[in-house]
Structure 1
Amino acid sequence: MRLSEERQIAAPTPAPGVPVRLAPAAPSLWRVIDRGGRVIGHLQALTEGSGIRYRARRFQAATRAFLELGEFWSADDAIDCIRFAR
């Protein structure tokens, strides 16, 4: 898998009622921001064949590193993983 650099991927829209918003961080990378304005993780789009997978990551302050939570075929599943991994 690789970052999708050759084609621009539009930001996914969180499902209605999900209390987060996405803010661009880099091409194919978005910050996931909760209702209080805190960044709770990153959502990264990756191309795989003709499809797009979404990688969920959270920042761990104790280690000062990102924790890979998983890769999903659905942006909503990746966002839920970030939300509930707190």
Structure 2
Amino acid sequence: MDQTLRRADLDPPRLPSGVPVRLAAAAPALWRVIDRKGHVIGHLQAIAEGGGIRYRVRRFRASSRAFLELGEFWRIEEAIDCLRFAR
């Protein structure tokens, strides 16, 4: 069973150099992923699982007024790439 991390002092994940996005805190263990133009392209959520951290990514769909879950990843690079390229 996964467990969303709730620590308010959790630092944002370290993004690889050269990735054209930045993170902005939205809630404990939840960040908005923002592209170079300043558009929010989705959310990244840290989830404690099996002694490690998985990253869940979601994108808001205006047509349905709901978040669409795109997946969960062990590597931050894969989570960010999913948001960047699944537009």
Shared fold per TM-score greater than 0.5 = yes
Q: Any stretches of 5+ residues in structure 1 without a counterpart?
A: none
Q: Which residue of 2 is the match for residue 5 of structure 1?
A: 6
Q: Which residue of 2 is the match for residue 65 of structure 1?
A: 66
Contact 1:41–1:59, Cα closer than 8 Å, also in 2: yes
How far 1:8 moved relative to its partner? 4.5
TM-score, normalised to structure 2's length?
Answer: 0.92
| Runs ≥4 residues deviating over 4 A | none
Q: Please give the root-mean-square deviation of Cα atoms over the aligned residues, in Å.
A: 1.3
Q: State the aligned residue count.
A: 86
Q: Which residue of 2 is the match for residue 33 of structure 1?
A: 34
Percent identity over the alignment? Answer: 64
How far 1:65 moved relative to its partner? 0.6
CA distance in 1, matches of 2:52, 2:31: 18
